[in-house]
Amino acid sequence: MKNIILITLLVVLCLGCKSENEVFTIPSSLEIVDVVEESKEVCLECEHKIVVYCDYSLRSLSFLKVSMQSWSEISDEYPDVGFLFVFHGKNKSTLERTLKEYEFPFQVMFDQDNEFYNLNNLEKSSTKNKPLQAFHLDGLKNVKIAQIGIPNLLRKEIEEFRNN
Protein backbone atom coordinates (compact mmCIF):
# COMPACT_ATOMS: atom_id res chain seq x y z
CA MET A 1 0.00 0.00 0.00
CA LYS A 2 2.87 2.36 0.87
CA ASN A 3 4.48 1.67 -2.51
CA ILE A 4 1.25 2.48 -4.39
CA ILE A 5 0.92 5.82 -2.59
CA LEU A 6 4.59 6.61 -3.22
CA ILE A 7 4.33 5.72 -6.93
CA THR A 8 1.12 7.75 -7.30
CA LEU A 9 2.77 10.76 -5.65
CA LEU A 10 5.81 10.43 -7.91
CA VAL A 11 3.65 10.28 -11.06
CA VAL A 12 1.65 13.35 -9.98
CA LEU A 13 4.87 15.29 -9.29
CA CYS A 14 6.35 14.32 -12.66
CA LEU A 15 3.22 15.26 -14.57
CA GLY A 16 3.19 18.64 -12.88
CA CYS A 17 6.52 19.74 -14.38
CA LYS A 18 6.98 21.48 -17.73
CA SER A 19 9.17 18.91 -19.37
CA GLU A 20 11.77 19.13 -22.05
CA ASN A 21 10.57 18.24 -25.55
CA GLU A 22 7.11 19.53 -24.76
CA VAL A 23 5.68 21.58 -27.63
CA PHE A 24 5.01 25.25 -26.96
CA THR A 25 2.01 27.10 -28.32
CA ILE A 26 2.36 30.69 -29.47
CA PRO A 27 -1.15 32.17 -29.54
CA SER A 28 -2.01 34.06 -32.71
CA SER A 29 -3.75 36.72 -30.63
CA LEU A 30 -0.47 38.10 -29.27
CA GLU A 31 0.18 41.65 -30.43
CA ILE A 32 3.60 42.64 -31.78
CA VAL A 33 4.94 45.80 -30.15
CA ASP A 34 7.67 47.70 -31.95
CA VAL A 35 9.05 50.77 -30.17
CA VAL A 36 12.35 51.58 -31.84
CA GLU A 37 12.72 52.29 -35.53
CA GLU A 38 15.03 49.39 -36.39
CA SER A 39 13.80 46.69 -34.02
CA LYS A 40 15.04 43.17 -34.49
CA GLU A 41 11.99 41.30 -35.71
CA VAL A 42 10.30 38.38 -34.00
CA CYS A 43 11.44 35.24 -35.83
CA LEU A 44 8.80 32.57 -35.46
CA GLU A 45 10.37 30.64 -38.36
CA CYS A 46 13.81 30.37 -36.73
CA GLU A 47 14.56 26.77 -35.82
CA HIS A 48 16.34 27.75 -32.60
CA LYS A 49 14.43 30.26 -30.53
CA ILE A 50 15.06 31.71 -27.11
CA VAL A 51 11.69 32.54 -25.61
CA VAL A 52 11.56 34.96 -22.71
CA TYR A 53 8.26 35.28 -20.82
CA CYS A 54 7.74 38.14 -18.37
CA ASP A 55 4.70 39.06 -16.31
CA TYR A 56 5.43 42.73 -15.67
CA SER A 57 2.42 43.04 -13.37
CA LEU A 58 4.41 40.90 -10.88
CA ARG A 59 7.98 41.89 -11.68
CA SER A 60 9.92 45.00 -12.59
CA LEU A 61 11.09 45.50 -16.15
CA SER A 62 14.44 46.87 -14.96
CA PHE A 63 16.15 43.57 -15.85
CA LEU A 64 15.72 44.58 -19.51
CA LYS A 65 18.05 47.54 -19.17
CA VAL A 66 20.78 45.38 -17.65
CA SER A 67 20.50 42.48 -20.10
CA MET A 68 19.44 43.97 -23.43
CA GLN A 69 22.94 44.87 -24.63
CA SER A 70 24.09 41.28 -24.07
CA TRP A 71 21.04 39.88 -25.86
CA SER A 72 21.54 42.26 -28.75
CA GLU A 73 25.21 41.22 -29.08
CA ILE A 74 24.27 37.54 -28.88
CA SER A 75 21.56 38.10 -31.49
CA ASP A 76 24.17 39.67 -33.79
CA GLU A 77 26.65 36.82 -33.15
CA TYR A 78 23.98 34.16 -33.80
CA PRO A 79 21.61 35.62 -36.42
CA ASP A 80 19.95 32.23 -36.91
CA VAL A 81 18.71 32.27 -33.29
CA GLY A 82 15.39 34.04 -32.84
CA PHE A 83 14.63 35.95 -29.66
CA LEU A 84 10.95 35.96 -28.76
CA PHE A 85 9.90 38.18 -25.85
CA VAL A 86 6.38 37.68 -24.50
CA PHE A 87 5.14 40.23 -21.98
CA HIS A 88 1.98 39.91 -19.93
CA GLY A 89 0.40 42.83 -18.16
CA LYS A 90 -2.80 44.82 -18.24
CA ASN A 91 -1.34 48.16 -19.28
CA LYS A 92 0.32 48.05 -22.70
CA SER A 93 1.29 51.73 -22.51
CA THR A 94 3.48 50.97 -19.45
CA LEU A 95 5.30 48.31 -21.45
CA GLU A 96 5.69 50.57 -24.50
CA ARG A 97 6.92 53.49 -22.40
CA THR A 98 9.53 51.33 -20.64
CA LEU A 99 10.73 49.67 -23.85
CA LYS A 100 11.06 53.07 -25.51
CA GLU A 101 12.90 54.54 -22.51
CA TYR A 102 15.37 51.62 -22.55
CA GLU A 103 15.60 51.72 -26.38
CA PHE A 104 14.88 47.99 -26.33
CA PRO A 105 16.17 46.69 -29.70
CA PHE A 106 13.73 43.79 -30.17
CA GLN A 107 10.11 43.55 -31.19
CA VAL A 108 8.10 41.99 -28.39
CA MET A 109 4.75 40.28 -28.10
CA PHE A 110 2.13 41.74 -25.77
CA ASP A 111 -0.14 39.18 -24.08
CA GLN A 112 -2.83 41.01 -22.14
CA ASP A 113 -4.79 37.84 -21.31
CA ASN A 114 -1.74 35.75 -20.32
CA GLU A 115 -2.60 33.14 -22.95
CA PHE A 116 1.02 32.15 -23.54
CA TYR A 117 1.55 31.36 -19.85
CA ASN A 118 -1.71 29.45 -19.52
CA LEU A 119 -1.56 27.49 -22.80
CA ASN A 120 1.98 26.37 -22.07
CA ASN A 121 1.32 25.53 -18.41
CA LEU A 122 4.23 27.68 -17.26
CA GLU A 123 2.94 27.58 -13.69
CA LYS A 124 4.11 23.96 -13.73
CA SER A 125 7.60 24.68 -15.04
CA SER A 126 10.57 23.81 -12.88
CA THR A 127 11.59 27.47 -12.78
CA LYS A 128 11.16 29.06 -9.35
CA ASN A 129 10.76 32.57 -10.74
CA LYS A 130 7.36 32.19 -12.44
CA PRO A 131 7.01 35.85 -13.56
CA LEU A 132 10.25 35.59 -15.58
CA GLN A 133 11.05 32.41 -17.49
CA ALA A 134 13.21 31.65 -20.51
CA PHE A 135 13.55 28.57 -22.70
CA HIS A 136 15.52 27.29 -25.66
CA LEU A 137 13.14 25.95 -28.29
CA ASP A 138 13.94 23.68 -31.21
CA GLY A 139 11.15 24.65 -33.55
CA LEU A 140 8.44 24.80 -30.92
CA LYS A 141 9.81 22.00 -28.72
CA ASN A 142 11.18 22.98 -25.33
CA VAL A 143 14.81 21.88 -25.20
CA LYS A 144 15.79 23.38 -21.85
CA ILE A 145 15.68 26.44 -19.64
CA ALA A 146 17.77 29.34 -20.99
CA GLN A 147 20.15 31.17 -18.66
CA ILE A 148 19.40 34.63 -20.02
CA GLY A 149 21.00 36.50 -17.11
CA ILE A 150 24.50 35.12 -17.71
CA PRO A 151 25.66 36.06 -21.25
CA ASN A 152 28.64 33.66 -21.42
CA LEU A 153 26.51 30.77 -20.21
CA LEU A 154 23.82 31.66 -22.75
CA ARG A 155 26.45 31.63 -25.51
CA LYS A 156 27.64 28.22 -24.30
CA GLU A 157 24.05 26.91 -24.35
CA ILE A 158 23.60 28.18 -27.91
CA GLU A 159 26.82 26.44 -29.00
CA GLU A 160 25.68 23.21 -27.33
CA PHE A 161 22.35 23.49 -29.13
CA ARG A 162 24.14 23.90 -32.46
CA ASN A 163 26.37 20.89 -31.83
CA ASN A 164 23.50 18.52 -31.04
pLDDT in tens, 25-38: 999 999 999 888 88
Mean predicted confidence (pLDDT) in 116-126: 92
Greater confidence (95 vs 125) lies with 95
Please give the pLDDT value at position 21. 65
Please check the confidence at residue 81 and state whether its pLDDT lies above 90: yes
Domain with residues 2-163, CATH architecture? 3-Layer(aba) Sandwich (3.40)
- The whole-chain average pLDDT of the chain stands at 85
Question: Mean pLDDT, to the nearest integer, of 41-68?
Answer: 91
Sheet containing 48-55, strands listed edge to edge, beginning at the edge strand earlier in sequence: 31-33, 108-110, 81-88, 48-55, 132-138, 141-145
- How many residues in the chain? 164
Top-confidence residue, 17 or 46: 46
How many Å apart are CA 164 and CA 13, to the nearest integer?
A: 29
CA distances from 18 to 13, 91, 118, 143 (A): 11, 28, 12, 11
How far, CA to CA in Å, does 44 sit from each of 80, 137, 146, 151? Answer: 11, 11, 17, 22
The helix-helix angle for 92-102 and 62-77 (nearest 10°) equals 60
Compute the average pLDDT of residues 80-97. 94
pLDDT band, very low/low/confident/very high, at 2 (cuts 50, 70, 90): very low
Distance (Å, whole) CA 135 – CA 144: 6
Find the mean pLDDT for residues 78-107: 93
- Global pTM reads 0.84
Q: Give residue 20's pLDDT.
A: 59
